[in-house]
Structure 1
Amino acid sequence: MRVGHGFDIHKFGKIYKPLILGGVHIPYCKGVVSHSDGDVIIHSIIDSLLGASSLGDIGILFPNNDIKYKNINSCILLQVVWNCIKKKYKIGNIDVTLFLEYPKISSYTNKICLCISNCLKCKTDVINIKSKTMEGLGEIGKKKGIASEAVSVLLEI
């Protein structure tokens, strides 16, 4: 069994960019400042999977100064990473905590789990998505950004 941890954070920007979380478009008046689509959930999962498999981090594999990743759908990046890992491991569990004040995502968590499970070719019951507010504290609490942490457990095949 291998365990990895991932984290990602983005600030909300003045220029509207769709808010994508876990591969799902979430209607909101703000988008994130990012090179790719800025999907903090997928980015934290990628880093947790890379950590569990000792394959580095998202910034090494997909540099944010490489034009080919500009506005890329992060689900594509997740699939690339999973294709490198799936020969040795299967998903034991992925647990994600999203930190944000708004928008509320409880009505989207099932759809997010389904999207992630489709990318990873695993069952939805091994993926858990939850969100927490920052109770008005810090930059996220002031609605200036969004962050995600993920823990992944990989099981050897």
Structure 2
Amino acid sequence: MPRIGVGTDVHRLVDGAPMHVAGLAWPDEPQGLAGHSDADVVAHAACDALFSAAGIGDLGSNFGTSAPEWAGASGCALLEETARRVRAAGYEIGNVAVQLVGNRPRLGPRRAEAEAVLGAACGAPVTVSATTTDGLGLTGRGEGVAAIATALLLPTPR
């Protein structure tokens, strides 16, 4: 039976940190995201959706601050390892869809690049979209960036 999972991630914007979102570096951004790893909200939300669908925990229980080997890890490295764990749990990844919520970075010009990088990391189709909150909430005020993801898993044929 197919399984669907949902994942959400939020990180605050800080001065002096590099910006990594959707598997890409954004060197022209004046702020980056704070976190235990590279704080890539898109990749992290995708991981959480995959973990949720497989029923094998979440980002924190798999790669949290109690796992120092993942400190500073790229979102793509986390997504690749998540996909490995999902497959080991007996599932194939049908697809992942992620929506970035925030004012920055402007995803549109690099959407295809992001989808290719994230898809390669998890070995399945990934689509990425983006929206703003019209000035409302922490993303609208420019305090942080969020992402929401869904993932479809199919049982591995036996």
Partner of 1:45: 46
Q: Which residue of 1 aligns with 2:150?
A: 151
Give the CA deviation at 1:93: 2.0
Shift of 1:136: 0.5
- Partner Cα distance (2:126, 2:77) in 1: 18
The equivalent of 1:100 in structure 2 is 102
Please tell me the residue identity of whatever aligns with 2:25.
H
The equivalent of 1:79 in structure 2 is: 80
Q: How far apart, CA to CA, are the structure 2 residues paired with 1:111 and 1:44?
A: 18
Mapping 1:117-132, distance limit 5 Å: 117-122=119-124, 126-132=125-131
Contact 1:36 1:69 in 2 (8 A): yes
Amino acid at match of 1:149: I
CA contact (8 A) 2:102 2:142 kept: yes
Partner of 1:32: 33
- Give 1:140's aligned residue: 139
Structure 2 unaligned runs (5+)?
A: none
Q: Deviations over 1:60-91 (max 9, x none)?
A: 11112443222111211211121122242222
Q: Is the 8 A contact 1:36 1:64 kept in 2?
A: no
Using structure 2 for the length normalisation, give the TM-score.
0.91
2-structure distance, mates of 1:84, 1:139:
32
Query: Is residue 5–residue 47 contact of structure 1 (8 Å, CA) maintained in 2?
Result: yes
| SS at 1:5 equivalent | strand
Amino acid at match of 2:117: C
| CA-based RMSD | 1.3
Q: Structure 1 regions of 5+ residues with no counterpart?
A: none
CA distance in 2, matches of 1:135, 1:55: 35
Distance 2:61 2:81 in 1: 13
Q: Is contact 1:42-1:74 (8 Å) kept?
A: yes
Equivalent position of 2:4 in the other structure: 3
Q: Hey, what does 1:23 align to over in structure 2?
A: 23
Partners of 2:4 and 2:67 in 1: CA distance: 29
Paired residues in the alignment total 153
Secondary structure of 1:152 counterpart: strand
Residue 107 of structure 1 and its aligned partner are, at CA, apart by 0.8
Checking the alignment, whether the CA contact within 8 Å between 2:21 and 2:40 is kept in structure 1 is yes
